Structures are given as C-alpha cells and as structure tokens.
Amino acid sequence: MCGIYGITAVPNTNIVPWGMAGIRRLEYRGYDSAGFALQNSAELTIIRSVGDINALRDAVSGHTLVSSVGIWHTRWATHGAPSERNTHPHTGCDTRFAVVHNGTIENHDALRRVLTAAGHRFTSETDTEVVAHLLEMEYRGNLAEAMRAAIHQIEGTFALVAITADEPGVIVASRRSSPLAIGILPDARLIASDAAAMAIHTREVVHLEDYDIATLSPTSHMIVDAGAVTRMRPSQAIELEAESAEFGGFPHRMLFEINEQPAALSNSLRGRIIAREGHVRFGGLAAVEKQLSAIEDLTVVGCGTAYHAALIGAMYIEAYAGLSATAVLASEYEYRRTSSRRNSAMLAISQSGETMDTLLAIKGGKDRGILTLGIVNRVGSAIARLTDAGIYNHIGPETSVASTKAFVSQVTLLALLAIHLGRQRDLIRTDAERMLEAVLRLPDKITTALAQSDHVRAVAEQFGWMQSCLFIGRGYQYPVALEGALKLKEVSYAHAEGYSAGEMKHGPLALVDDRFPTIAIAVRDSRRKKMVANIQEIKARRGPVIAIANPDDSEIASLADATITVPEDDEFLMPVLTAIPLQLFAYWMGVSRGINVDKPRNLAKSVTTE
Ligand code: M6R
C-alpha cells in the first residue's frame, strides 16, 4: 500500500533505471498507479500512469530520460479514484515542487479551502496535493524550512518526500507514523518507505523519527528533529532475510507460500526449543525476561489474519500460562479500556511490521505505560523497532496478499510463548516437554496436510457454484473458521462468514438451505461431539457440508458431502493443521474463478494507512 523511493546521486549519474528498479521492489505492497518526478531543469519532469510499473515503463518508452535526482511513488487510492491526475508525485500551481506521500492528511479539506482562497489551483482529488501547495506557499529559498512549515499545518500520518527545481541535488523528507529510511552510498543517498527496498544498493540505513526533517544531497544528509536540533541518527545495517526463489516453480506466489510452510515453520522454530528440558528460548525477549515473569495480563493485538492468530494466542496464554489474555483488533484498541496496570503487557502480531492500525495500537499501549512486545516477520520493520522486545518469525518474505505461512508461524510461536510464560509460572516440565515434542513434529504433519491439495482442488471445483458460505468451528477452531472465511473472501470474492459453531442456532442457521454450504471443522478434539451435532442440524435442513476432519472418521465422512482430512495432533496444535486445507480451498476456488489470487482487487499487502 503506497511506496516511496527516491535517489540523489552525484552529477552525471543517470538514476532513472535505478529508480524504476527500486520502485519495483515496493510492488509487493499493492498499488493501482505509479509515477515519478525528475529534477534537471528549471521545471521538474513528472511522469504518471494508472496501472502497474510496466504501464509506467511503457509511458516513458520512446523518451530519453536522464537525471541524477528523482522521487518515485506507487499509490493505493484512498482520496480519489485511481487516475493519472490523482497519481503521485503531486505539484503545486506549476511544476517547481513535486511531492510524494504515504499516509493520510486528515485536515486536507480545511487546508484546501485556505489555499484555494489564497489563489492556489488544485488539479487532483487527493489529500496529498495540499502539501505541494503548502510547500509552494511556504518556500523562501529553503525546501527543508518549507517542509517544516508545511508539516506543522498537517494533521494525520505522513511520510513525505519532496524536490524542487530551485535546489539541484536536494531531496527533503519528513515523517509521522509512516516509515522512511535513508540509504547511504559513497556517492548517492536513497530514501524509501521500506528499508529493504534499498538493500541491493546498500545495507547501511538511517531510520527517520517522527517529525524529523531530512535534507539529502548526493554525498551527505542532515537530519533536524522536531525541536529544530540537528541530530546524528545512527546508521543501522539492514538484516536481510534470504529472498526465496521466485514462485519456486508454482504458478502463483500464494501456492508457493502455502507449500513453503513446513520449511518456513522449521525456520521459525530453529534454535528456540529445548524439548528435553521443557524449555523455550527467545533471544529477542532476553532483555525483558524479568518483566515477563511478572506480567499479570496480556492484550494481543493484530489485524486480519494476524488478529485470528491473536485470538488463538490469547487462548493459549490463558490455558498454559494462566494469565488473563484478551485479543483485540488493533484498530479497536484505542476504544478499549484494557488493563494498564504496572504488570500489564501488549503483544502485537504483524507479518509486515508496518500495519498502521497495529503501529497506532502499540503507540496507545506505550502511552498507557505498558510493556509492548511483538511477533513480527519483517526484520527491522517499524513495529519491530517500536516494541520493547519481540520475536521474529524468520519465515522469509511473504509477498502474496493473502497471508498464509505467517499465520502458521504466528500461531506456533504463540504456542511457544504460552509454554515459555507457563514455565515461568505453573506449567510443569513434563507437560511442557510433551507439548514441545509435538511442536517439533508439526512441519512433517503440515507436509501430510499439503498432500491433500489435489483433493481440495476437486472439492473446490465441486462447490464452484457457491456464492456464499459459512465456516464453523469451536474452541481453537473458531478463529480458524474466521481465517478460512477471510481467505476465501480475499482470493475468490465469494461471500463467507466465520462463526463459532455454538452460534448456529442463534441466527446463522436461518441461512442454511441446499444452495448454502457450510465448511465445518470437526476434528477429533474435545469439541468433536458438539460439532457432529452441528453438522446433523445443518444436514437436517439440506445444507451441503464440507468437513475438515481427521482420517478414518467414518461418522463425519458419512454425514458430510465432502471430507478433507488433516493429520491428528494434540488439540492445541490442530489450528495450525486445519488452516492448511482452508488456505488451499480458497486458493483453488480463486484459481477456478480466474482471479489474480496473488493480488486480489482493492487489497494491498501492507496496510500502511488507518
Ligand atoms: O502485515 P500484517 O500481519 O500486520 O497484516 C495484517 C493484515 O492486513 C493481513 O493479515 C491481511 O488481513 C491479509 N491480507 C490476510 O490474508
């Protein structure tokens, strides 16, 4: 969701191919239009197009574009439809200033009225354009000063990067809540909304803090903080996860990432389990172990799939650590009065580490003075840096919009965290040993679950007619039902709802007829009997049922219209295994409907605005 990439290099370096390659590295975030601005004359050159980077490349084919300074942007439409005039970079009344922006300017309407009254003419529907006009209005020969004056008038979140025709070689940037990092090379400075996008050129980056104003020139950069004090922000080395080979021979990233799960999970677990001692080791939590042992309650936050993992994690922590644990949607956290006692803590779950709602929830937790922890995949991401301590997933980049391997890793790491917190309290060693042995067997069991892929495909084709369906489960399988429904919606555009099976008689049963399928997760756990009763009540109303069950469960198989099996395991690990066929079901349903499963419409991989 929106990406920024900028370069200023020593004169006679042509950065245009460099910038085009850089912005491609931000494609994974999702976008609907792209553009760039180059500085090389009294006016800037602005090129913008709707569609993907290939459309942008086609828009410039036939032109000779050469420059040593430029800023690029991929836009995910929020204010105004995807159109050329709404695409960034935006300019003021003429093309002396160009700005790109990630985030949301909440008071843009009011600013637009003031600027219009002062004679400024607007050409787009975006909130960003006000910034270009503010720069134009505030400019007195120093872009950094104009940026300072502009950001003081803006409410909302932003990562802003600007250039002007009047200051050759200079890029100015500022941020609030939206990440920005400077990349350092001997004869160039880069700026990007995702440090990893610069990694092919440099591993040395400086992360900007809120309200910093950074002035970049080819061989130096200067950062002035909110209090107008010049800061030497330390540079950091980008830790890069090894890029997985693209698609690994699979037709889509989503299928590749689903099939990668046994290996990805092994990477998550590596070095963290000492089963024979009933012990879990998280290096990233070492500094806060004492605080962890004193925690009395935990709020687990996340969005989408990460929230579903949080729901399961809260159950684990209640069950095995005996703590009070509540899962809260990150976007709802500010409306909640969850505990902020001295021994309260928050745990944020995020694959990307950039989700704005989750970042804001963590900031809310910090304002309440509680310990903040994270389970994050993206090394060095905004959430990883903001939390007091945390656990990395170490599953490599997840690039398909639909989250799959992150969920499996998040749930398993939450189980390990619950065991770890439990061992600090009352969980007895032999129980922990048994549970950890089971965790170590999970990657192989996932491999067995994946072997059902062709059968799942056949079931998806059998039910290809469906427009709407329910997913039901109980206990740990209730969040999996929510996750199955989310996956199906995202990649097949079928309407789907996840429900606790216990809720059926309280309303959803009214939907059931012979054209309304239910996917029932009915594995051999302590809730199986009640799930059988739920399936029976659906069948009594002629509702088609797809059961997710364990092998050789003839009772379920005889009731259901189709059965997909997953290996049996300890009840607490079953949500990891039942998630696999639901991911495959969504994938095959989406493929059979001709949908671009890796980039479903209207969605972005990283949701970096509220
Ligand atoms: O990067 P995050 O884990 O913070 O992302 C959270 C959600 O945006 C994400 O899980 C989203 O729901 C996925 N598209 C689900 O497949």
User: Is 445 a member of any domain?
Assistant: no
User: Is 149 a member of any domain?
Assistant: yes
Inter-helix orientation angle 405-423/304-316, to 10°: 20
Which residue's CA is minimally distant from atom 9 of ligand 1? 304
Between residues 65 and 556, the one the model is more confident about: 556
Reply yes or no on whether the pLDDT at 183 is more than 60.
yes
What pLDDT was estimated at residue 195? 87
Looking up residue 276, the CATH number of its domain turns out to be: 3.40.50.10490
What pLDDT was estimated at residue 194? 87
User: Is 602 a member of any domain?
Assistant: no
Can you read off the two tokens belonging to residue 546? Answer: 């797809």
Distance 306 CA to ligand 1 centre (A): 6
505 is catalytic: no
Reply yes or no on whether the pLDDT at 1 is more than 70.
no
Out of 418, 440, 462, a domain closes at: 440
pLDDT tens per residue, range 266-314: 989 988 999 999 999 998 999 999 999 999 999 999 999 999 999 999 9
Q: Which residue has the tokens 């509702």?
A: 543
Percent of the chain beyond pLDDT 90? 80
pLDDT class of 242 with cuts at 50, 70, 90: very low
Residues 69, 206 within the same domain = yes
User: What is the number of residues in the chain?
Assistant: 610
Q: At 196, phi and psi to the nearest 5?
A: -60, -25
Reply yes or no on whether the pLDDT at 561 is more than 80.
yes
ω into residue 186 within 30 of 0, thus cis?
A: no
**Which atom of ligand 1 is found nearest the CA of 352?**
1
Residues 395, 492 within the same domain = no
User: Is 166 a member of any domain?
Assistant: yes
Residues 284, 421 within the same domain = yes
Residues 348, 318 within the same domain = yes
User: Is 446 a member of any domain?
Assistant: no
Out of 223, 238, 253, a domain closes at: 238
According to DSSP, the residues that pair with 376 across neighbouring strands are 350, 392
Mean pLDDT of 84-107: 94
Residues 461, 411 within the same domain = no
Question: In a mutational test of the pocket of ligand 1, which residue from 28, 301, 303 has the highest number of ligand atoms less than 8 Å from its CB?
Answer: 303
- Cβ–Cβ < 8 Å for 216, 173: yes
Residues 253, 322 within the same domain = yes
Question: In a mutational test of the pocket of ligand 1, which residue from 1, 301, 349, 355 has the highest number of ligand atoms less than 8 Å from its CB?
Answer: 355
Can you read off the two tokens belonging to residue 298? Answer: 């935990």
Q: From CA 596, how far away is CA 219, in angstroms rounded?
A: 43
What pLDDT was estimated at residue 336? 87
Burial 120-142 (b: 16+ CB within 10 A, else e): bebebebbbbbbbbbbbbbbeeb
Q: Domain containing 327: what range?
A: 245-440
Average pLDDT, the chain: 93
The residues, any chain, with a CB within 8 Å of residue 139's CB and separated by 6 or more, are: 97, 146, 164, 166
Residues 150, 41 within the same domain = yes
Which residue's CA is minimally distant from atom 6 of ligand 1? 303
Residues 174, 267 within the same domain = no
Residues 267, 403 within the same domain = yes
Residues 376, 491 within the same domain = no
Reply yes or no on whether the pLDDT at 59 is more than 60.
yes
| Residues within 6 Å of ligand 1 by CB | 303-306, 350-352, 355, 358, 401-403, 486, 490, 606-607
Can you read off the two tokens belonging to residue 140? Answer: 């007195």
User: Is 202 a member of any domain?
Assistant: yes
Reply yes or no on whether the pLDDT at 546 is more than 70.
yes
User: Is 601 a member of any domain?
Assistant: no
As for how many domains the chain has, the answer is 3
Residues 303, 432 within the same domain = yes
Can you read off the two tokens belonging to residue 604? Answer: 């972005």
With the C-alpha atoms ordered 520, 522, 523, 525, is the resulting torsion angle positive or negative? positive
605 is catalytic: yes
Reply yes or no on whether the pLDDT at 238 is more than 80.
no
Percent of the chain beyond pLDDT 70? 98
Reply yes or no on whether the pLDDT at 241 is more than 60.
no
Mean pLDDT of 463-492: 97
* 232 burial level (CB within 10 Å; 0-12, 13-18, 19+): exposed
Which residue's CA is minimally distant from atom 11 of ligand 1? 304
